[in-house]
Amino acid sequence: SGASPVNPATRGDTSIPMLRRSNVLKGGPPGGSSCLTAGVALYVIRRGKRREPALARIDGLIVYPIKSAAGVQVDHSEVTWKGLKHDRSYCIVVPVEESQQGARGEYRVLTQRTAPQMSRLHPSLPNSGGISLIFANADDDLSSSIRVPLQREGERITVAVWGEEARGIDQGDGVAEWLSRHLEVPGARLIKSVDKEEFLRSAPS
């Protein structure tokens, strides 16, 4: 009761590729093997020309010269070992309460969490001469902008940033009074990072 032979004509078109594969696998006519080799080569070439999907795209660069203040959009930026150049190179500090004073110094970093009006503070991109500040929508009786010359020999202030100590150079009484009035935070002072140590969260070791 063996199987009856099947007439290739009754199989339709599906028998043709089956026979070709059989011939190639069994060492059939050279023509079949050449066709398979050429087909594989063409597939590899086409696959190699496919573009890999982009993993990321940069739509814009924003540098934040003062921690927690408004940012500055730039066309290009130098990348340092800590990130974009000038990013968080300044910060605003305020005196801490007597009960919180300790080894970390007498100042803490001011952020938008406790002073949301800092979002209205727009700094320029710093340069070797200093930095300019604009307070958006300031009252008419208050100066809306100030130029802060870079102070390299001011008082050194140590603050805690994300649980670690950072040092900054005080930028003078003039900008301190200006910030205190506009931010409505007594004792606010602007400090500049020391030795290019930006006021950033440290990368995990």
Task: Report pLDDT digits (tens) over 80-105.
Answer: 887 888 999 999 999 887 545 554 56
Give the pLDDT confidence of 3-48 residue by residue, as tens digits: 555 454 444 444 434 434 444 334 445 555 555 565 655 555 565 5
Domain ranges of the chain: 61-201
- The alpha-carbon radius of gyration of the chain (Å, integer) is 34
The maximal CA–CA distance of the chain, rounded, in angstroms, is 109
Query: Which structure tokens are listed for 140?
Result: 């008419």
Q: How far is CA 36 from CA 16, 22, 33, 166, in A?
A: 14, 12, 5, 67
Predicted TM-score (pTM) of this structure: 0.65
Burial class of residue 65, CB neighbours in 10 A (0-12, 13-18, 19+): buried
Look at residue 160 and give its three-state secondary structure. strand
